[in-house]
Amino acid sequence: MATYDFVFDKLGLKEWCAQNQTETPLSMRELLARSRGDTESSTSIWELPFPSMDALNEACRSFPQSRDLTKGLENGFLSIKDTLSIFLDPLTQPLSWFLDGALHIMQITPWWIMIPLMLVIVLLVTKSWKLVTFVGISIAGLAFIDHYDYAMQTLAIIFVCAFICVLFGVPIGIAMSRSDRMQRYTIPILDMLQTLPPFVYLIPLIFLFSVTESKLYGIAIILYAIVPVIRLTNLGIRLVDKDVIEAADAFGMTKRQKLFRVQIPLALPNIMAGVNQTIMMSLAMVVIASLVSAPGLGVLVLRGIRNLELGVGLVAGLGIVVLAVILDRVTKTSLARINASQKNEAD
């Protein structure tokens, strides 16, 4: 007799349970109880199982098991997979073109053009020769140990994915800041995206897209990294001083003028902080996305794990740390310049 037989007896579902009742091999405990002549085996309160799906299924074979739930979800997803692919393939194909194009450009451009170009961009953004020197030494160090191509691949993916995150994330954040209803509906989605384990992003995408397509890892990176820029854009605009908004209204500004001339400039430090976090999260996801053919330094980390090559994995990991420090310092220095310029304007 199963532990929870009484539940179905009390509910009058005994006949329903008997429909799928089949003879199952007796357990050792039941065999010993039968050999002693025990007609029923009582369960101690300490051994009482939680009334889970599997425990209830032991009492009633018609009751579904937990594996029926997971199998149902899988079959449901597979049943709509073809329809989703027909809809999502053309919609996401530009992402593959952008990623493939960025990877191609970063790889065919000679190092003696790419490295100076990157240093010029860093100088224009940060106005810091000290940081330019640090970036130059860091990239030269990666090139010296033959990790230049891998580093450029990683940067190409980050640039494309972070750009798309900002392109879509900032307007979504602005829309959230202007509508409490949209914020109420969007926050649970952002919470789910932020707390979902990174590997889980890859599971449905593997079924929808081919592993050889760049958009497979591109979508996973974007979904994982877009949350900070949305949240901080929304927060930054909502934190704009109400007195400033009232002054803008007094000058007769339209909503569009207030947004682009008042709210976004004042919220720019928060928006840039969101961009910084988005770039960092993109870099973290690029390493995980190497499991689904994403190129870059993550491939070397994966190789070190698979082949137990300690040196390869450690050196590639240090290279990722170097890139993370470069991206973090550049974005934070840019943010500091924005803050300083706003304070000077205020004074």
Q: In this structure, are 118 and 49 located in the same domain?
A: no
Domain CATH code at residue 296: 1.10.3720.10
Q: In this structure, are 162 and 294 located in the same domain?
A: yes
Looking at residue 55, what is its pLDDT? 85
Is residue 269 within 8 A of residue 331, CB to CB? The reply is: no
Is residue 163 within 8 A of residue 99, CB to CB? The reply is: no
Q: In this structure, are 209 and 103 located in the same domain?
A: yes
Is residue 73 assigned to a domain? no
Which residue bears the tokens 């009492």?
59
Looking at residue 26, what is its pLDDT? 53
Looking at residue 95, what is its pLDDT? 94
Looking at residue 166, what is its pLDDT? 95
Q: In this structure, are 329 and 260 located in the same domain?
A: yes
Domain count, the chain: 2
Q: In this structure, are 86 and 130 located in the same domain?
A: yes
This prediction has a pTM of 0.86
Is residue 334 assigned to a domain? yes
Could you tell me the mean pLDDT of each successive run of 10 residues in the chain, 347 residues long? 77 79 57 58 73 86 88 90 88 94 95 95 92 96 96 96 96 94 94 89 87 90 95 94 90 89 90 93 91 91 92 94 94 85 69
Is residue 259 assigned to a domain? yes
Looking at residue 46, what is its pLDDT? 78
> 3-state DSSP helix/strand/coil percent for the chain, to nearest 5?
80, 0, 20
Q: In this structure, are 33 and 147 located in the same domain?
A: no
Looking at residue 22, what is its pLDDT? 59
Q: In this structure, are 139 and 48 located in the same domain?
A: no
Looking at residue 37, what is its pLDDT? 57
Got the DSSP string for 196-248?
A: S-HHHHHHHHHHHS-TT-HHHHHHHHHHHHSHHHHHHHHHHHHTS-HHHHHHH
CA-closest candidate to residue 165, choices 82, 280, 52:
280
Q: In this structure, are 188 and 311 located in the same domain?
A: yes
Measured CA to CA, the distance from residue 315 to residue 310 in angstroms comes to 9
Question: Residue 306's domain spans which residues?
Answer: 81-346
Is residue 109 assigned to a domain? yes
**Count of beta carbons in the 10 Å neighbourhood of residue 257:** 13
Q: In this structure, are 168 and 249 located in the same domain?
A: yes
